[in-house]
Chains A and B, each alone.
Chain A
Amino acid sequence: MAIDCEDQELLEGFLAETTELLEKLDDDLITLEKSPDDSELMNRIFRSIHTVKGASSFLGFDFLVKVTHKTEDVLNRLRKVELSLNSEIMDVVLEAVDLVKTLVADIKDGEIVERDIETVISKLIPYLSEGAGEASVLSPAASATRKEPAPAPAAEAPVTQEAALKEAAEALEEAAAAAQEPAAAKEEPAKAAPPPQPKAAAASKEPPKQPAAAKGDELADNTTVRVDVKRLDDLMNQVGELVLERNRMIQLHSDFQAGLDISGFTDDFGKLSKRLNFVTSELQMQVLKMRMLPVEKVFKKFPRIVRNLARDLGKEVDLQVFGEETELDRSVVDEIGDPLIHLIRNALDHGLETPDERLAAGKGRVGTVVLSAAHEGNQIVISIKDDGRGIDPERVSKKALDKGLVTEDQLASMGQREILELIFLPGFSTKEQTTDLSGRGVGMDVVRTNIRKLNGIIEIKNDLGHGSEFILKLPLTLAIIQSLLVEVEKEIYSIPLSSVIETLRVSTRDFHMVGGQEVLKLRDSVLPLLRLQQTFDCAHAGEDRETCYVVIVGVAEKRVGLVVSRLLGQQEVAIKSLGKFLANLPGIGGSTIMGDGRVALIVDPMGLIGGGESAGVRKSA
């Protein structure tokens, strides 16, 4: 069924608002479960679902109204303390919220697919019946209905357990009948209103679509931006100033052409360019800020995921989230969701022990997972820390050997750190059996791939028996970087400042040859040198200088000195891709456009030093 909403704007407003409410709702519900007495929170949840209901009824989305209405009723009883909150009720409410998300996602896609609404409603209904105290007794009945493979369109308020089962069985038959004859569904004498469209029949032929959590996630996509009006005003002001400066420039030019006040021109022009510089950098900051999203956008999915996982795994988990207000570029936000889910899953599945094991190890029953985000210079640092059993390097190396991912010789030469990094290899898993949670050895590979894509760094801190910590360091934005401009035989290259450790001015006499490799003695270490002129095959510009500059760059634990002719200074540059044709050049990461309109290439230290292979798990030392 396509959506024929007359007012597209209204619909968009509804979608934006509902999506936001639903995202918040998930979080609130989980919090509510922890603190059921928080009446303020309870009221907020109630208001949210009520708002969704009101809006959907206004726009005529009857199916949405039905689900939200029943959910609201249950919540209302909870609010009035006619019902006491337990995890079964919460499960059902969460499921209902999931369904609402799915339905809203359908509306967003512009195509309403008939979904199995009744199953969820029928699960909510027991909690609405008079015997509030019996609610929990009735819940097995509800779950019986859930297990039925076909949707039960007519299951209405089962009063006792037997009745529920019987009803469910009947409902099954009815569903089958309905499948034969669409009209039958409408004439169903059962009190539960059938879905508004005869398509219900078509739907019941197919296996019922479970409101998948994944579907809910899609709602949170970032195709539209909500910007603080204040930020927009600031931007407008900046643009206003830019216009003023432009006018000033035109004025200056025409004055100059007219031959007026030639002597003052240089002065005026200098002032103008200073102001322009100021305005544009302000403008750049503003726009950059608009692209920033609080990491909360990703983090708020996790309480829900952790709750479900903990229950499935039979573990008790306390998830603590810090720094969710930390802002980062939306392109980064979009990419970190998946790796974080994998890391959290691993923390719960591999890291934390079961309550009994924890007690035996002398820890508290409840495991802790700490998820935190913070700014650190030009980077954002996200850490996932658990107080579980930690990673056992011996087990890791044994597994890697068993799976044929490494050879004994390779293992023997590996340090502790390198052994831990084996977990990132595709196909690696310490699980004996593949479960739907883990064991395929894909997860950490996904983490590595995504973080690499973002030019990020992964660090593992491990304390066997006391837990492990995964630290992700990501650039704040992918579009603009700080860089060091250097000159190599009259050609200009830009080196990302994030990998520059220090620069030196040295005499070429201090260079030594060790085993065919040019090195520089630097304090107490020996630094291998790379002459960019040779690497990049630059034409010799003719001047042999006694001294040259060495830029020390770091990739992972490696340090290399790049020999350049001159240092030109630090500049903020916007990264431009070189296009598909020149995408995979070794040592070149992209290009940027300089102030004079010329193109300068950006050096990729990882490509220069590490080669492709070891580049995956970079560490900042």
Chain B
Amino acid sequence: MQTTALKLKSEEAGGELIQLVSFNLEKEEYGINVLMVREIIRMLNITRVPNTPHYVEGVINLRGKVIPIISLRKKFDLMEAEYDKRTRIMVMEVVGEMMGFIVDEVSEVIRISDKEIQPPPPVVSGGIEQECMAGVINQAERLLVLLDLEKMFTADERRFFSTVS
């Protein structure tokens, strides 16, 4: 019901419709463009990889392909939490590479109009790194933070590679 309501609302607002996958991290709701997401899987056995940034949990075997797993909680400096049965790995293609991101819970796919996206508030002290926030979506009953992981990773990769090589 909620989705249809949202959908109607966004159609009223006009503009181009985009679909977002919404997920939760530490009670906050985030959205990511559905086109980025390859699949959403349950937690698997993660193999730790030494000498990586702290937010890299390790690697998993995704049907014969080895992909790195990143904890968004650690990445965003949130409190660490135990994995439970709602914990999911969102497998996404970021800058041409498959990567998995651990989130607390994946809730739904929502449609919004791109007109609803507001620029991020000017100063966000602490918490999410400003660079990968693409905007916020402010609706009556909810507030969604729209992420642009591509941005986060180009900057990050650069930093990581420069320390390694």
Contacts and interface: CB of A to CB of B under 8 A. Distances in A.
Interface of A: 491, 535-538, 576-582, 584-588, 591, 593, 597-601, 612
Given A584-B161, A586-B164, A599 B59 contact: yes
B61 interface: yes
B25 interface: no
The residue among A577, A585, A612 with the most chain B CB atoms within 10 A of its own CB is A585
Judged by DSSP, the binding face of A is: loop
A272 B98 CA distance: 36
Contacts of A600: 47
A536 B51 contact: yes
Contact of A601 (B47, B95, B98): B47
Contacts of B68: 578-579, 581-582
The residue in B59, B68, B96 that gathers the most chain A C-beta atoms within 10 A of its C-beta is B59
Given A576-B66, A580-B97, A587 B47 contact: no
Contacts of B52: 582, 585
Contacts of A582: 49, 52, 56, 59, 68
A586 B97 CA distance: 20
B146 interface: no
B50 interface: yes
Nearest to A580: B97
A588 B50 contact: yes
Contact of B98 (A535, A579, A591): A579
Closest 7 CB pairs of A and B: A536-B50, A599-B47, A584-B164, A576-B66, A591-B66, A593-B61, A599-B61
Contact of B66 (A536, A587, A593): A593
A123 to B, nearest CB: 51
Given A535-B50, A586-B164, A598-B47, 17 more contacts: A491-B48, A537-B51, A538-B50, A576-B64, A576-B65, A576-B66, A578-B49, A579-B66, A580-B96, A581-B157, A582-B56, A582-B59, A584-B161, A585-B164, A587-B51, A591-B66, A601-B47
Contacts of A598: 45, 47, 61
B165 interface: yes
B164 to A, nearest CB: 4
B67 to A, nearest CB: 6
Interface string B36-55: 00000000010111111000
A587 B49 CA distance: 11
Contact of B49 (A576, A601, A612): A601
A578 B97 contact: no
A579 B97 contact: yes
Interface string B57-99: 0111100111110000000000000000000000000011111
Contacts of A597: 45, 61
20 contacts: A491-B48, A535-B50, A536-B51, A537-B50, A538-B48, A578-B59, A578-B66, A580-B97, A581-B160, A582-B49, A586-B51, A588-B49, A591-B47, A591-B59, A593-B61, A593-B66, A598-B45, A598-B47, A599-B58, A599-B66
Contacts of A587: 50-51
A531 to B, nearest CB: 12
Given A536-B51, A537-B50, A588-B51, A581 B99 contact: yes
Interface of B: 45, 47-52, 56, 58-61, 64-68, 95-99, 153, 157, 160-161, 164-165
Contacts of A588: 49-51
Contacts of B60: 599
A386 B105 CA distance: 68
Contacts of A537: 50-51
A598 to B, nearest CB: 5
Nearest to B94: A581
Contacts of B99: 579, 581
A593 B165 CA distance: 27
A5 to B, nearest CB: 37
Nearest to B58: A599
B153 to A, nearest CB: 8
Contacts of A491: 47-48
Nearest to A586: B51
A534 B153 CA distance: 28
Nearest to B95: A580
A239 B50 CA distance: 39
A408 to B, nearest CB: 30
Contact of A581 (B45, B64, B97, B165): B97
Contacts of B157: 580-581
B97 A593 contact: no
A577 B164 contact: no
A226 B153 CA distance: 43
A585 B64 contact: no
Nearest to B51: A585
Given A581-B157, A598-B45, A593 B51 contact: no
B49 A585 contact: yes
A593 B50 contact: no
A597 B46 CA distance: 11
A199 to B, nearest CB: 41
Contacts of A585: 49-52, 164
B48 to A, nearest CB: 7
Contacts of B66: 576-579, 591, 593, 599
B51 to A, nearest CB: 6
Nearest to A599: B47
B70 to A, nearest CB: 9
Contacts of B51: 536-537, 585-588
A601 B153 CA distance: 23
Contacts of B153: 581
A141 B59 CA distance: 70
Contact of A584 (B50, B56, B65, B165): B165
Contacts of B65: 576
B1 to A, nearest CB: 40
Contacts of A593: 61, 64, 66
Contacts of B50: 535-538, 585, 587-588, 601
Most B CB within 10 A of own CB, among A577, A580, A587, A600:
A580
B38 to A, nearest CB: 14
A600 B49 CA distance: 9
A586 to B, nearest CB: 6
A104 B45 CA distance: 53
A139 B99 CA distance: 66
Q: Which of B45, B49, B161, B165 is the most central at the interface, judged by chain A CB atoms within 10 Å of its CB?
A: B49
A537 B66 CA distance: 21
Contacts of A612: 165
Nearest to A582: B68
Nearest to B50: A536
Nearest to A488: B50
A585 B165 CA distance: 9
Contacts of A577: 66
A276 B60 CA distance: 26
B63 to A, nearest CB: 10
A617 to B, nearest CB: 20
A158 B34 CA distance: 74
